[in-house]
Amino acid sequence: MTRKLFGTDGVRGTANTFPMTAEMALMIGAAVGRYFRRDNGGVHRVVIGKDTRLSGYMFENALTAGLTSTGMNVLLLGPVPTPAVGLLTPSMRADLGIMISASHNPARDNGIKFFGPDGFKLSDEVEAEIEALVESGVRPAGPETIGRAKRIDDGRFRYQERVKSTLPYGMRLDGVKIVVDCANGAAYKTAPEVLWELGAEVVPLGTAPDGLNINQGCGSTNPQAAAEAVVAHGADVGLCLDGDADRIILIDENGQIADGDQIMALMAARWAEEDRLRDGTLVATVMSNLGLERFLEGRGLRLERTGVGDRYVVEAMRRGGWNLGGEQSGHIVMTDYATTGDGLMAGLQFLCEMVRSGSKASELTQSFERVPQMLKNVRYDAGKAPLDTAPVKSAIQAAEAVLNGKGRLLIRKSGTEPLIRVMAECEDEALLQQVVDGIVTEVAAAT
Sheet of 10-14: strand order equals 6-7, 10-14, 109-115, 96-100, 45-50, 73-79, 149-151
Q: What is the DSSP string of 94-130?
A: -SEEEEE--TTS-TTEEEEEEE-TTSSBPPHHHHHHH
Q: What is the C-alpha separation between 93 and 89, in angstroms, rounded?
A: 6
Instruction: Give the E-state strand segments of 24-119 in sequence order.
Output: 45-50, 73-79, 96-100, 109-115
Nearest to 13 by CA among 417, 361, 403: 417
Q: Quick check: 23 and 427 in contact, CB under 8 A?
A: no
- Pairing of the two strands 419-426 and 373-379: antiparallel
Q: Is 151 strand, coil or helix?
A: strand
Omega within 30 of 0 (cis) for the link into 192? no
Q: Quick check: 101 and 244 in contact, CB under 8 A?
A: yes
Q: What is the DSSP string of 396-443?
A: HHHHHHHHTTTEEEEEEE-SSSSEEEEEEEES-HHHHHHHHHHHHHHH
In the chain, % helix, strand, coil (3-state, to 5) comes to 40, 20, 40
Q: Is 49 strand, coil or helix?
A: strand
Q: Does residue 103 have an active-site annotation?
A: yes
- Give me the long-range contacts of 157-161 (CB less than 8 A, separation at least 24): 158/84, 158/87, 158/88, 158/91, 159/80, 159/81, 159/83, 159/84, 159/87, 159/88, 159/190, 160/190, 160/193, 160/194, 160/197
Q: What is the C-alpha separation between 14 and 357, in angstroms, rounded?
A: 45
Q: Quick check: 359 and 252 in contact, CB under 8 A?
A: no
Q: Which of 69, 103, 329, 367 is catalytic?
A: 103
Q: Quick check: 270 and 210 in contact, CB under 8 A?
A: no
- For the annotated catalytic residues, the residue numbers are 103
